[in-house]
Amino acid sequence: QVQLVESGGGLVQAGGSLRLSCEASGRTFSMYAMGWFRQAPGKERDIVASVSWTGAPTYYADSVKGRFTISRDNAKETVYLQMNSLKPEDTAVYYCAAPRGPYGINLVSPTEYVYWGQGTQVTVSS
């Protein structure tokens, strides 16, 4: 069983920053890719960023490229999403996710992930 516990969401003004954290347990964290997704009300769950099992390469959705950074700390079994220059359109529930198998790279589809955190709300006011 894989447990993903997210934290760091909240309310922030446009232009501000937040750092989301997702602590994983139940497997050898360093062997697995990790991803961040988000879902706004009435919209599909979309990829935000992913990090391969090696820490590189990383992938970013065009809408967040240059503003968000995904990283991982294998010693802490934690993946982070640093979000800078936040915009109101970034408002969504953010989920971290893990795939079933190890050694993943460039995993960008929700169907490639089978373990999900509970989600953390990010609200960006204008």
Over residues 16-40, the pLDDT tens digits come to: 999 999 999 988 899 999 999 999 9
Name the band, by pLDDT with cuts 50, 70 and 90, for residue 108: very high
- Ordered DSSP codes for 62-118: TTTTTTEEEEEEGGGTEEEEEE-S--GGG-EEEEEEEESSSS--S---GGGEEEE--
The backbone torsions φ and ψ at residue 75, rounded to the nearest 5 degrees and listed phi first, read -65, -35
- Ordered DSSP codes for 27-62: S-GGGS-EEEEEE-TTS--EEEEEE-TTS-SEEE-T
Beta-bridge partner residues of 122: 10, 92
What's residue 78's pLDDT?
Answer: 96
What's residue 28's pLDDT?
Answer: 85
Q: Which tops the pLDDT comparison, 116 or 1?
A: 116
